Amino acid sequence: MLHLRVISPAELSDKVLEILDGCVGVVNIVVFPGAARSPAGDLVQFDIAREAANEVIERLQELGLHTEGSIAAEQVDLSISEVAERAQEEAPGDGDDAVVWAEFAQRVDEDTRLTWAFLAFLTIATLLAAIGVIVNSPILIIGAMVMGPEFGAIAAVCFGLLRTDKDLIGRAARTLVLGFAAAIAITFACALASRGLGWIGVRSLGTGHEEIEFIVKPDRWSFIVALLAGAAGVLSVTAGKSSALVGVFISVTTVPAAGYFAVAAALARWGDMAASAVQLGVNVAGMIISGAVTLLVQKAYWSRFGMRLPARPGGSQR
């Protein structure tokens, strides 16, 4: 179940209640006339089955409540109510499969922002991966995989492809390119300093590194893994199964490939640089392809129930 809080101008409240009364999956409707001060209006709260949320949110947006009022939603962790159970049974589809498109759109939009936190996490992850490459530590490399924050931007590219939103794709691609460029540059500088101090040398990536050679040996399996990880990642985000994202992060070698590239550049190992760059590209491309296809399948599935994607800013619904 989701709990929605709506602030509605008084003149629109009757229409809001009419929408709620006419939609399946809506329960526990509570109205506080004139309770809201900023923005001013009536406060309407209700619970709704996750699989029925798209229609209600869409119709509330059509009333203009996202500009003249406010719409907020949060997950209900515990609901002990036979009425709520019946509402979930009446709603189309299954809650575990439901995609709340407005929620997903907002999430990926936030993930396209090139913030200091994003750069810090990606840089630290790349540094950890580089150290793991040097000391031949799969544990450090796995830790770097988990820490990397890049999947949000990749999911944004997938969503941008689904609704042909060039602006979203551009912002997400910019975040990925600039983020990895900054992380690789800082890691490269640190690797150069380590080489100058004599901590690493041209043999640091030589023999004895068989356990981590998968980072610089892209093949058909690398692409297949990326496809599977991209599909699993999008499913985990859209269906609210965020715990599965850890497995996605561990599956693909985007951050380790970036770390390997930086170390190889500092040691002038051009072949390893090229191989790690190919690995990075293969993984990102594979996740984008499978992620976009997964979203397309989900869109087709939920279109059976008349549920559409949210409108792009300044655009039409699809």
**Tens digits of residue pLDDT in 89-136:** 887 777 677 788 888 888 899 989 999 999 999 999 999 999 998 888
Per-residue pLDDT tens digits for 204-230: 776 656 667 777 778 888 899 899 989
What's residue 317's pLDDT? 43
What is the pLDDT at residue 129? 93
Q: Which CATH fold topology does 2-97 show?
A: Alpha-Beta Plaits (3.30.70)
Q: Per CATH, which fold does 103-304 belong to?
A: Glycerol uptake facilitator protein (1.20.1080)
Residue 131's pLDDT is what? Answer: 93
3-class SS string, the chain: CEEEEEEECHHHHHHHHHHHHCCCCEEEEEEEEEEEECCEEEEEEEEECHHHHHHHHHHHHHCCHHHHCEEEEEECCCCCCHHHHHHHHHCCCCCCCCCCHHHHHHHHHHHCCCCHHHHHHHHHHHHHHHHHHHHCCHHHHHHHHHHCCCHHHHHHHHHHHHCCCHHHHHHHHHHHHHHHHHHHHHHHHHHHHHHHCCCCCCCCCCCCCHHHHHHHCCCHHHHHHHHHHHHHHHHHHHCCCHHHHHHHHHHCCHHHHHHHHHHHHHCCCHHHHHHHHHHHHHHHHHHHHHHHHHHHHHHHHHHHHCCCCCCCCCCCCC
**Which pLDDT does position 128 carry in this prediction?**
95
CATH 3.30.70 in the chain: give the residue spans. 2-97
Which regions of the chain carry the CATH code 1.20.1080?
A: 103-304
Q: For residue range 272-282, list pLDDT tens digits in order.
A: 899 999 999 99
Q: Which of 11-15, 71-75, 141-145, 311-315 has the lowest mean pLDDT?
A: 311-315
